[in-house]
Structure 1
Amino acid sequence: MQHIPLVSVICTCHNQGSYVLQALDSVLEQSYPAVEIYIIDNGSSDGSKKLISDWIKQHGEQIPIMHRYYERPVNYCQAFNAALKSINGHYLIDLAADDFLHPQHISRALEQLQGSGAKVYFCNALLLYPDGSQQPFYPARHAGNIPQGGVFSAVVQKYVISSVTLVMDASSLLKEGGYDEDLSYEDFDILVRMSRKYPFVYGDFTGVFKRELPGSLSTQQYQVKHSALLPSTFRVCEKIYDMLEGKEEKEALRFRLLHETKHALASANFKVAGQFLKLYRKFSPISLHYILFRLWHTCRLDISNLYSYWTKSKSL
C-alpha cells in the first residue's frame, strides 16, 4: 500500500440530498485500494448535512475522511480550492454530489496515467436524464475521433472532453493555482489551463454516471437575458487569446468565439455578445458570420423566447 499512489476525491454537495449518499458510496466501493475523500456541504438547506454526517459516522473507519460544512453557500471554486490545500492524494477527482463513479473508475484511470506519463485522464460518461433515458457522452461513432495527448486546440474549439470524468495529477493542478475563484464555473477554464501545459490520456471506459438535472449549473450557460456563466466563458476566452500559438489554435478560438456569440445573441445576452465580437476582431479578419452577428448585435433583435422554447424542446 505504501507504494500505491493515493487518490483524493473532493465531493461537493449543495442541496443534493437525494443523490449524495450514492455519490459517497460509489467512492467507498472503488476497487482501487488507496482512496481518501474530502466532503464539502456548501450551505445546503435540504438535510444534506445530516445525511453526510451520518454517513461519516457509519464509514469513518473504512476510508480516510475529511469534511467541511459551510453555513451559507460560497463560490464553488473557492470551496474546492480550500479542500485542495488539505488533501494528501497524488491524484485528484472532483465529484459532484449528484453524480457517481463506476467501481473501477479509479483503477482504470491509474492504469492509464501511470502507463502513459500523462497528467490528466478522462473517459466516457453515461448521461442520465430525468425521464429515465440515458446516452453516452461519446457515442460509439466517435470512438476513433477522441483527442489525446496535446488536446489544447480541441478543448478550445468545442466541448470534447467530459470534465466530470477527469482524474488529475494533484501537484500539477496546484502549480496552476487550482480553480480560478473569479469565475462562476470551473470546467472550461481548468481544461484550457491544464491542456496548455500537460498531456491528456483517454480511457475507453464509462467511468462516471452524470445526472442531467433541471436547474443544474450546466443548464444555465445560456440563461435568457441574465446568464451568470457567459461572462466567465468570455474571461476564459480572453485567457486563451493570451496563450495562442500558431494557426490551428487561432482557428479553434475563432470557432469558439462565433459559437458563443451566436448563443449569447440568441439568448439576448447582448453585452457579453459584444465582448465576444470585440475579442474576435482582435486577431481575426472580417467574415460573413462576423458581419451578420455584428448587425444582430447592433439592432438588438430579441428572439430569446424562441431560443428558450428551442432549448427546452431539445432537452425533453
Structure 2
Amino acid sequence: MTMKVSIITICYNRSATIAKAIESVLNQDYPNIEYIVIDGNSTDGTQAVIAKYSSRIAQYISEPDQGMYDALNKGLQLATGDVVGLMHSDDEFYDTGVVSKIVATFMNTPDTDGVYGDGVYISNDTAAKVVRNRIGGAFSLDKIKKGWLPLHPTVYLKKSLIDKYGAYNLDFKIASDTEFLLRYLFKYKIKMFYLQQYIVKMRMGGLSTSYARAFEVLKEDYAIYKFHNVNPIRAVFQKKLQALSQYLKK
C-alpha cells in the first residue's frame, strides 16, 4: 500500500488565489493524496471557487474560526494520512512532482520523522517573478539556537508524531508556526531530512500588510524563543539577518 499524504489548505476570503493553490495539489503526480480544505466562512466568493473542485477534495469545512492556527488544527484533526503537510491558499507547489519526491524520501529513509526543502517567494502580480529564494540548508540544533528554522510550508511530518506532540498553540496568534517547529525540532529533537529541492512558491503580500505585521511577529517570536529556553535576542536578531541575506542574494 502506498503512503497516504494529507495536505491541508486553510483560507479566508482568498477568491483570487485559492484556485491556483487547489489545482497545484490536485495536479500532483502522486496518487494517494488526502486533500483537506478548511475555510473560515469566506464572504468574497471563495466558497464558490472551492465548490468547483468538491469532487476531488476529501474533506471540506466552511465555518467561522479563531484564526489560521485554529483552522490548521481542524485540518490536523481530520487528517488520516501517514504524512501531513500544508498548502497555504496564496501558495503553489513548485512543480507536479513535489509530493512524489517527498514520499520517496520518507520511503528511502524510514527512520526520518520529517522532511523539509526549499522555497521561492514570488511577486503578487500576474508576472509572478521570483522575489527571493529561501534555501533550507542542512538541519542542526545549533542553527536553531541562531534563529534558523525550515520554511514552514515545506515541512512534512509523520502524523503519528503530531498525534504525540500536539497541534498549533493558539496562545500565539501570528507566529504559532515558529512555536510548533521549535517544539518538534528543538524540544523533542525529531529526525529531519533536508530534501534539496524546491517545494513551494509563496506569493508575497502587499508591503503595507507585511510591514504592519512585522513588529507583531517580532514580539511573538521573542516570546516563543524565550518560552523554549532559546536566547531570544540572539535567535530573533539572527533570524532577521538570515532573511535579509537571502533577499540580497536574489
The residue identity in structure 2 corresponding to 1:79 is A
3-state SS of paired residue (2:179): helix
Q: Aligned residue for 1:195?
A: 185
After the TM superposition, which residues 153-232 of structure 1 pair with which residues of structure 2 at under 5 Å, given as runs? 153-184=142-173, 185-196=175-186, 197-214=189-206, 220-223=212-215, 227=216, 229-232=217-220
Rate the CA distance shift 1:193–1:160 in 2: closer, same or farther, 3 A: closer
Distance 1:257 1:18 in 2: 33
Residues paired across the two proteins, number = 234
Q: Report the Cα offset of residue 25 of structure 1.
A: 0.9
Could you give the per-residue CA deviations for residues 263-307 of structure 1, whole angstroms, max 9, x where no partner exists?
9xxxxxxxxxxxxxxxxxxxxxxxxxxxxxxxxxxxxxxxxxxxx
Larger radius of gyration: 1
The residue identity in structure 1 corresponding to 2:36 is Y
Q: Aligned residue for 2:27?
A: 29
Rate the CA distance shift 1:155–1:27 in 2: closer, same or farther, 3 A: same
Rate the CA distance shift 1:193–1:220 in 2: closer, same or farther, 3 A: farther
Decide whether the 8 Å contact of 2:116 with 2:192 is kept in 1. yes
Q: Aligned residue for 2:16?
A: 18
The residue identity in structure 1 corresponding to 2:133 is P
The residue identity in structure 1 corresponding to 2:234 is F
The residue identity in structure 2 corresponding to 1:130 is N
Rate the CA distance shift 1:136–1:205 in 2: closer, same or farther, 3 A: same
What's the C-alpha RMSD, in Å, of the aligned pairs? 2.6
Q: Report the Cα offset of residue 218 of structure 1.
A: 5.9
Decide whether the 8 Å contact of 2:124 with 2:205 is kept in 1. yes
| Residues 1:233 and 2:233 aligned together | no
Higher relative contact order (CA 8 A, sep 6+): 2
3-state SS of paired residue (2:228): helix
Distance 1:155 1:189 in 2: 12
Identical-residue share of aligned pairs (%): 19
Greater percentage in helix: 1
Q: Report the Cα offset of residue 73 of structure 1.
A: 4.6
| Residues 1:68 and 2:61 aligned together | yes
- TM-score (norm. length: structure 1): 0.67
The residue identity in structure 1 corresponding to 2:10 is T
**Which 5+ residue runs of structure 1 have no aligned equivalent?**
245-249, 264-313
Distance 2:112 2:191 in 1: 5
Q: Aligned residue for 2:88?
A: 96
Decide whether the 8 Å contact of 1:156 with 1:192 is kept in 2. no
Q: Report the Cα offset of residue 95 of structure 1.
A: 1.3
210-219 or 86-95: bigger deviation? 210-219
After the TM superposition, which residues 1-316 of structure 1 pair with which residues of structure 2 at under 5 Å, given as runs? 3-56=1-54, 60=55, 63=56, 65-70=58-63, 72-101=64-93, 102-116=95-109, 117-130=111-124, 132=127, 133-134=129-130, 135-138=132-135, 146-148=137-139, 151-184=140-173, 185-196=175-186, 197-214=189-206, 220-223=212-215, 227=216, 229-241=217-229, 253=232, 255-258=234-237
Rate the CA distance shift 1:68–1:16 in 2: closer, same or farther, 3 A: same
3-state SS of paired residue (1:96): coil
Q: Report the Cα offset of residue 67 of structure 1.
A: 0.7
- TM-score (norm. length: structure 2): 0.83
Q: Report the Cα offset of residue 234 of structure 1.
A: 2.8
Rate the CA distance shift 1:165–1:64 in 2: closer, same or farther, 3 A: same
